[in-house]
Structures are given as structure tokens and as C-alpha cells.
Chain A
């Protein structure tokens, strides 16, 4: 015992002498850094738990200036680093490959400014998504992007992933709501981008949003805030056949209605959410549920609701109902928004996928997902933003069973191939991260990937900022690039 403790003390002392740690402490102070092994374990991965890696340290800067100083130190010593928000990402974007310094933005969590007249708010990156809407709700305003993780995820992380949410169908995703960014570039320089619409120059705001922390560290964000719609109504429709629910989705869009949200859950998903923390009493034998929300001018809503109900009935709905109160509406949404977590009640593990398809291909693709499910012998729950064709197949597996994890990963990849083949994408909101690097090849050829890598090089030439994420393993692309440059 005694000997072990001594050894630990010695290790601590040795650690303290690590020059890098010392220099980081000099910037942020003793209480804003982790470098002991046991402290680092919590940072081995984000919400994508299949891949793990140990960071060298985790630092918690409180100001942009501190972020810049940290980055300058790391840049000078060629030590890789990763910006991290709440770590709820689902593709491994904030997961170390091994040995990076994590720069956690959670202490930079202030709401800096709200300007109602210009309908914008300025936040620090660690500010939690839902807190913004809560802070401005009193005056009838809200921040649109509402990922299901909005109680914990940060707006910095939302910018990193270009996060979406249930209410992004009508109003757009994060990129449509970011007006300006302060960014610490991978060499430590602080730059301010945007702020006013159409700022002259290439659209760096658009490029940085969704770049998964590979182009720099966002330290301040100016976002649009919107006035709450005057009225909203939510319809819940229960179906006996998935095809009927899928066709209802396309019929609604084709009828010229753009709902604020249009969400779907299938049988297995319903089984999960009903066992979760917010059950609403969906019948056990249902095949699918649609949540359809319409918002806008009060007088315009009833006829849209009538039309939607009519469409559901034409598609053999079992039961269709308008929320009778705000409480009922909230209950439906809480039930839906906890869907991922609720899978834990019906399966030891689950893998969230995130494909996108043209909405008209929904019936065809769901059929293929079912085939993949039986091929691998894994249950797949489907929860998705049906209105914008963004599927979240939840692949249920048991990591204790040898080979099950690999099967889940393979099934997920196969689903993404199906999405790519119908003209869709491999990710609608969760990002590529570590998880989908190889799947990038489903939708981009080598030249297209090489061009993206070359854009990364403009910002992050030494690949120090969140290295080796997003793009398939370099070799082939690098070769193509070299050949291209040589001949061109």
C-alpha cells in the first residue's frame, strides 16, 4: 500500500515537471487542467462510444485570449489539439485519436449580449443550446435549432457539427442561424468573421459551420433569434403500416404544406420511448407514429390542420389527434426527444445512424433498412426527421456478445450506402467525425475529397487542430492530389 502511494506521488511529481503541462498551467491556472490518467478517462470519447482514445491533457480556458495562448503553445510544439463542447457528438468528432490536448470550452458559457431590435444574440461557445431560448422566451423570442440534446449540448458544438433538430424543417439548421463567429485559428490568431449579412469575401461562416473543429476553435458566436410563431398546432397520427406513414409524409409536402416539424418513429422506437422516462401511452401494436407540427399566423392554421388530417385519413391512419393542450404537446415532444436515450431500456447498446434521403424515397429506403436488419440479425429502430428525409436508424446490439459491435457498425455502413445510392448523404446532422470517414467515399470521389483536404490545409496546414477526422485515410487522396498538381 505504502509503496504504491509513494509511487503515485512520484508519478504526480514527475507529471508536474512535464514542461507542456507547466506551460498550460501558466495560462489557465492549476484548477483549469486535467492531466492525471484517471481524470482523462472521462474524455476518452464523446457520444459515439465505439472508438476511444486517451488525451494528453484537458484544458479549460475562460477567455478567447487564453484559448489563443494555449493554441500558440501547442502550435509551436506541434502538439495536436481538439476543441470540445459538451461531448454529446455522435460521430467521434471530439474523441481523441490518442495524445491530443483537449481544449474544453465549457467554462466559456456566458450569454454576452441580446439585441432584440436586431434580432441577434452573442454567446460564448460553451453556452448550452436550450439556455438561449430560455433566456429570451420571456420576450417571446427563441433560438431555432433544437437538437434533441439541447439541454446539454453547447452552441459551439452545434456550430462544429452544423446541428439540426426537429424544428429545422421549416426554419433551417445551425448554418442558417449563425451570423458571425470569432475564431482562434490553428496557429493561435484570433479572427472575426461575418456579423452582418453578405460580408464581402468567400462565405467562411458557411465553411466553418459544420467543419467539426478541424478549421479552428470557435470562441464567440452571433446567432439569429426569432420571434415565436403566433400560433402552433401539433398533430399526432398513429399508423398500422409504416408505408402509410411514409406516404403521408410525402403527401403533406406535396400538398404545399411545410410543417415546422414532421417526425416519425417506428414500432421498435415506440417500444423504447414507451419504456423511457416520458411515456405517453402509445398502443403496443402500432407500426408508426407521426408528429406533425404546423406554426405561423393563427388564422392560417386550422385549414392546414384539416388538410393534414384528411391526408392521414386517406392513408389509413388508425387514429389522428390534435394536441388538446400545451401540456399534451410537450408530452409528445419530450417522448420523441428522449428517443435515443430510451433505447437503453430495450437494448444494452445502440448505434445511432444519420443518413439523409430525398423524402420521396422514404418507403423504398425503409424497406431496405428492414432487409439489412434481418440480414445482420440486429433489431433496428427508426426515429427520424421525416420531413427533411433525415433518418436515424438506431441499431440495437450487445457489445458483450463477441462480433455484435462489428455487425452493428457494418449494418450502419450498409444503411448509409443505401442512402448514398438514392442520391442522399451519409450524414444529415451528426457529422463524419471518426465514424464515417470511410463512408465519405460513398458520396465523394478522390478528387473531391482531396479538394476538401486542401481547404483544410489553408486553415490547418499541419493538421494539428482535430487531426485525422472527417476524411478517409489520407494515402490515396494525397496521391491523387500529387498527381493532379504535377500534371496541372
Chain B
């Protein structure tokens, strides 16, 4: 039975959590501008302090068929979902902190609401880091990063969330606490349930704790910014050659002229090539680049903190509420970027975009706030990718736009399997209903 008024829901939650939850922890959602635009907010915002409280809230929601949106830093509000407001927005912001850092094992256990920046600063004290570079590390929580499978250019060398998360604690929709994986780097006991949660957009359960693989901090970091006076061909040619050499680039990220202008002050296609290793290995790779530049020009070279600062600016570039992500073959990355540029030109839109020529992932941010044109742009990119292997999804858009289109692209032929999995975890569709592929 669904309690109708927000007051009833609030009373219900306060009652379950009893004195453990001070009144102030449940906040009525007034709705600021961002929330009104992007949706995925809640009639009520709740800040549980531990997984037992989460369990109790979910049990209550499950019993009363309420909808719950779990949220970390809120940086992915524009991704998926057709709800303006769920009944409850369950914020993970009070569930934070490093539970354990086992330095000799290169493993950490951390609570889901901890921001990536907080994690990195704890790890740095022991000369280690978590090799993830998603957007907005100061706001993004590790739970949110993993649930949305966020990533950045450095995954070329370090892998993405699915390669780094070795275990989880999760509260499922009926309030049960389950564990997946273990605090070890190799494990094939039973199904790899951890993988199901990576990128599941909070539709299967609420991740409360994560076991993560770490890396030693590289003694030397370097970043070379290369531009092409000719065109993109030379950039592809260089990418191909470096991938075919014994070099080990950290990232090979192409920026369109708009983005290069902003981050490097040159309005041309630009290739960012990074290296992280012991100093001699970095020097040798820089030398390889100099020897193999071909027609490319080196416009800048940064080291250590400066290189990191540049990547941090890179990670903060995607503020536009209108964004696409394209997955393609590596060989199609530059064609994707050029097609995007062309489509934007035709529609009179201005975009910034970047794509990994070693990875096959591109991101396009449309800077104009024109819903109609954005939809046409999305369609054009879908048509472009329809002839190629891969996909286009809307990574961010106002919820009114999301209501009218399928943000995750075409339904996969095996949708019944995805629906079946959802059904097992959350039969009453409490968690993030409609947020994911095929309306899951």
C-alpha cells in the first residue's frame, strides 16, 4: 500500500529509524534549478548513516511500493531516467571514509559515499592511488563512479571500473545485505556478481562498500600535447604507430578544435599523449614520440603536478547538460568526432568533444541549450553509428528530453536477460525505475 502524502512517508521513515535518525537528516526537497532541469531528484531526501539504515529504508520502500533513487555526488543526474522526482532520494553522502587500506596488498576497502579526491589523498600518503580518472573527482563518489561506470582517458593503460573493483557490499531492494567478491585480486568462486553492479545505475541494489585494486603512484608523469597542421589523418597515423610500438601510452586522447582551444589554446585537432612510469622509461617514451612525430607538432609538454593539473581541467570540461557518449571501434573514433563536428555545423550547434584512439570511446558535449536541435543531433549520430559497430547514448540531458527519446539507444536483442536480472534483484521496481536500458 502506498502512503500518499510525503508527510506519511517521512513519518514512516522516521519511525523505522527511530531515535537513530535526527529530524534534520530527512530534508524536504525544495528543488533547485539543476534538479528541475535534470530530474532524478526526490520528494524527500534521506541521509542514512550506515548500511543498516539503508536496509531499513529500502524495506520500508519495498513494502509500500515507493520509488528510491540512490545518489552519490549527483554528477550523473542527467544520465537516464524519466522521473522528475522519486518518492525518496537516498543520499550516500554520509556513508564515507576509508575502512581499510592494506598497503602491502595494494587493496583498499572504502565506503561508497567517499569522493574520489578523498580516496586519492588518503592513498597518496602511502605512495599509492586508485587508477580511475572520471569527471569531477572532487564531487564524484566512488559508489556513483562504479554504479555509472564512469571513466576517463587513462583507462587505456589502467582499465576501467570493472577491472578494478574486486568486491562489494550491497543492500538489495528488499533490504538484504549481500557481499560479492573478496579482498583479493583473483577470485572465481561462483558468478562474478561484482560485475553486475558495475554500471548498473543503481537499479539492482545500493553499493555501500567497495574493495578496490590499487596501483603504486608512478614516480614520473608526463603529458605531450600534439597538434596536426594537416588534419586528423596524421593523428590517426601516429596513434596507430604508437599502439603498434612497444610504447605504453597512458592515454591517447584526441580533442576537437573547440576543446583544444579551451585546454591548450590552439584551435586545431589535438592529441594528448601521456606516460606514467619510472623516469627513465618516461624519458625514453618521450624520445620515441619526438622521433616519430611525423607531421605532428608538439605544442606543449607537461610533467608531474602540471600534467595532473591539465588532466584535472580535462575532467571538469563536461559541464554541459547535453552530452553524448559513443562507443566504437578504435578505427572509428576520429570518423565519429568528425561526423559529430559536421552534424553540429549543419545544425548550428557548438560542441566540444574528445575520443580515445586506443579505446574507442568518445564523448560529445553540446553547448547550446536547444532541446530540438540536440535531439536531431542525437539522431544524426545514431544514424552514423547504425552502419558501424558500436552505440550512441545520451550521457546527459534534461529529463524532459529523456522522456521523449530512448537515451540508451536501441534495445538489445537480449533485453529479456537484463529484465530477468532486474526482476530477481528488485521485483517491485523500487530502485531507480526506468533509469536504465530498455526502461529497466
Question: Complex formed: what's the CA distance from A301 to B246 in Å?
Answer: 13
Among B18-26, B66-74, B223-231, B323-331, the one that faces the other chain is B323-331
A454 touches B189 (CB 8 A): no
Question: Complex formed: what's the CA distance from A25 to B130 in Å?
Answer: 54
Among A71-79, A405-413, A419-427, the one that faces the other chain is A419-427
A389 touches B330 (CB 8 A): no
A256 contacts which of B127, B163, B187, B194 (Cβ < 8 Å)?
B127
Q: Does B387 count as interface, using CB distance less than 8 angstroms?
A: no
Question: Complex formed: what's the CA distance from A299 to B327 in Å?
Answer: 35
Within the complex, the shortest CB–CB distance from A197 to chain B, in Å, comes to 6
Residues from chain A with Cβ under 8 Å of B172 in the complex: 451
A210 touches B191 (CB 8 A): yes
Q: Does A198 count as interface, using CB distance less than 8 angstroms?
A: yes
If A176-B159, A250-B104 touch, does A452 touch B193 (CB 8 Å cutoff)?
yes
Residues from chain B with Cβ under 8 Å of A256 in the complex: 127, 216-217, 219
Bitwise, A441-457 to B at CB < 8 A (1) or not (0) is 00110011101101111
Q: Does B12 count as interface, using CB distance less than 8 angstroms?
A: no
Question: Complex formed: what's the CA distance from A388 to B213 in Å?
Answer: 11
Q: Does A440 count as interface, using CB distance less than 8 angstroms?
A: yes
A358 touches B183 (CB 8 A): yes
Question: Complex formed: what's the CA distance from A128 to B195 in Å?
Answer: 26
Residues from chain A with Cβ under 8 Å of B423 in the complex: 458
B421 contacts which of A258, A443, A458 (Cβ < 8 Å)?
A458
Q: Does B283 count as interface, using CB distance less than 8 angstroms?
A: yes
Residues from chain B with Cβ under 8 Å of A206 in the complex: 162, 192, 194-196, 198
Residues from chain B with Cβ under 8 Å of A304 in the complex: 278
A428 touches B186 (CB 8 A): yes
B417 touches A458 (CB 8 A): yes
A172 touches B240 (CB 8 A): no
A118 contacts which of B174, B186, B325, B331 (Cβ < 8 Å)?
B331
Within the complex, the shortest CB–CB distance from B111 to chain A, in Å, comes to 18
Residues from chain A with Cβ under 8 Å of B390 in the complex: 196
Among A97-105, A160-168, A366-374, the one that faces the other chain is A160-168
A191 touches B196 (CB 8 A): no
Question: Complex formed: what's the CA distance from A428 to B424 in Å?
Answer: 27
A197 touches B185 (CB 8 A): no
Q: Does B103 count as interface, using CB distance less than 8 angstroms?
A: yes
B424 touches A458 (CB 8 A): yes
B176 touches A299 (CB 8 A): no
A448 touches B178 (CB 8 A): yes
B188 contacts which of A227, A250, A430 (Cβ < 8 Å)?
A430
Q: Does B404 count as interface, using CB distance less than 8 angstroms?
A: no
Question: Complex formed: what's the CA distance from A431 to B188 in Å?
Answer: 6
Question: Complex formed: what's the CA distance from A202 to B408 in Å?
Answer: 12
A191 touches B186 (CB 8 A): no
Bitwise, B152-168 to A at CB < 8 A (1) or not (0) is 00000001101100000
Question: Complex formed: what's the CA distance from A70 to B195 in Å?
Answer: 30
A172 touches B163 (CB 8 A): yes
Residues from chain B with Cβ under 8 Å of A358 in the complex: 102, 105, 107, 183-184
Report the nearest A residue to B205, measured CB to CB.
Answer: A451
B174 touches A488 (CB 8 A): yes
B199 contacts which of A164, A198, A231, A360 (Cβ < 8 Å)?
A198
B186 touches A389 (CB 8 A): yes
B106 touches A484 (CB 8 A): no
Within the complex, the shortest CB–CB distance from A185 to chain B, in Å, comes to 8
B412 touches A200 (CB 8 A): yes
Question: Complex formed: what's the CA distance from A211 to B281 in Å?
Answer: 39
Question: Complex formed: what's the CA distance from A30 to B391 in Å?
Answer: 43
B187 touches A296 (CB 8 A): no
Count, chain B residues at interface, CB 8 A: 86
Residues from chain A with Cβ under 8 Å of B151 in the complex: 198
Q: Which residues from 417 to 440 on chain B have a C-beta closer than 8 Å to any C-beta of chain A?
A: 417-418, 420-421, 423-425, 436-438
A425 contacts which of B184, B194, B325 (Cβ < 8 Å)?
B184
A455 contacts which of B193, B412, B413 (Cβ < 8 Å)?
B193
Report the nearest A residue to B166, measured CB to CB.
Answer: A425
Q: Does B370 count as interface, using CB distance less than 8 angstroms?
A: no
Count, chain A residues at interface, CB 8 A: 89
B106 touches A253 (CB 8 A): yes
Within the complex, the shortest CB–CB distance from A476 to chain B, in Å, comes to 16
Q: Does B348 count as interface, using CB distance less than 8 angstroms?
A: no
Residues from chain A with Cβ under 8 Å of B248 in the complex: 229, 296-297
Among B174, B179, B414, B425, max chain A CB count under 10 A is at B414
Question: Complex formed: what's the CA distance from A51 to B254 in Å?
Answer: 55
Question: Complex formed: what's the CA distance from A228 to B35 in Å?
Answer: 49
B196 touches A202 (CB 8 A): yes
Q: Does A436 count as interface, using CB distance less than 8 angstroms?
A: yes
Among B189, B204, B412, max chain A CB count under 10 A is at B189
Residues from chain A with Cβ under 8 Å of B191 in the complex: 207, 210-211, 452, 455-456
Q: Does B243 count as interface, using CB distance less than 8 angstroms?
A: yes
Residues from chain A with Cβ under 8 Å of B282 in the complex: 300
Question: Complex formed: what's the CA distance from A448 to B62 in Å?
Answer: 19
Residues from chain A with Cβ under 8 Å of B107 in the complex: 358
Q: Does B371 count as interface, using CB distance less than 8 angstroms?
A: no
A210 touches B192 (CB 8 A): yes
B103 touches A254 (CB 8 A): yes
Question: Complex formed: what's the CA distance from A116 to B178 in Å?
Answer: 42
Question: Complex formed: what's the CA distance from A197 to B179 in Å?
Answer: 26
Residues from chain B with Cβ under 8 Å of A298 in the complex: 246, 284
B186 touches A429 (CB 8 A): yes
If A356-B187, A389-B184, A432-B190 touch, does A118 touch B244 (CB 8 Å cutoff)?
no
A198 touches B361 (CB 8 A): yes
Bitwise, A466-484 to B at CB < 8 A (1) or not (0) is 0000110000000000001
Residues from chain B with Cβ under 8 Å of A192 in the complex: 413
Question: Complex formed: what's the CA distance from A209 to B182 in Å?
Answer: 17
Question: Complex formed: what's the CA distance from A425 to B330 in Å?
Answer: 36
B244 touches A116 (CB 8 A): yes
A385 touches B186 (CB 8 A): yes
B278 contacts which of A300, A357, A428 (Cβ < 8 Å)?
A300
Q: Does A47 count as interface, using CB distance less than 8 angstroms?
A: no
Q: Does A201 count as interface, using CB distance less than 8 angstroms?
A: yes
5 cross-chain pairs, A with B, having the tightest CB-CB distances, nearest first: A206-B195, A300-B281, A230-B246, A256-B216, A458-B420
Q: A358-B102, A458-B423 are in contact. List 20 more A-B contacts (CB 8 A).
A: A140-B244, A191-B417, A199-B327, A199-B412, A203-B199, A204-B418, A210-B192, A227-B244, A253-B104, A258-B215, A297-B246, A297-B285, A300-B277, A356-B182, A360-B104, A360-B105, A389-B105, A448-B178, A451-B172, A457-B424
Listed A/B pairs (14) with beta-carbon separation below 8 Å: A118-B360, A161-B188, A198-B160, A199-B327, A200-B412, A201-B436, A227-B245, A357-B184, A388-B186, A389-B184, A423-B182, A430-B188, A444-B179, A448-B178
Which B residues form the contact surface with A (CB < 8 A)?
Answer: 62, 102-107, 127, 149, 151, 159-160, 162-163, 172, 174, 176, 178-180, 182-196, 198-200, 204, 215-217, 219, 240, 243-248, 277-278, 280-285, 325, 327-331, 359-361, 389-391, 393, 408-409, 412-414, 417-418, 420-421, 423-425, 436-438
Which A residues form the contact surface with B (CB < 8 A)?
Answer: 116-119, 140, 161-162, 164, 168, 172-173, 175-176, 191-193, 195-207, 209-211, 227-231, 250, 253-254, 256-258, 296-301, 303-304, 356-360, 385, 388-390, 423-432, 436, 440, 443-444, 447-449, 451-452, 454-459, 470-471, 484, 488
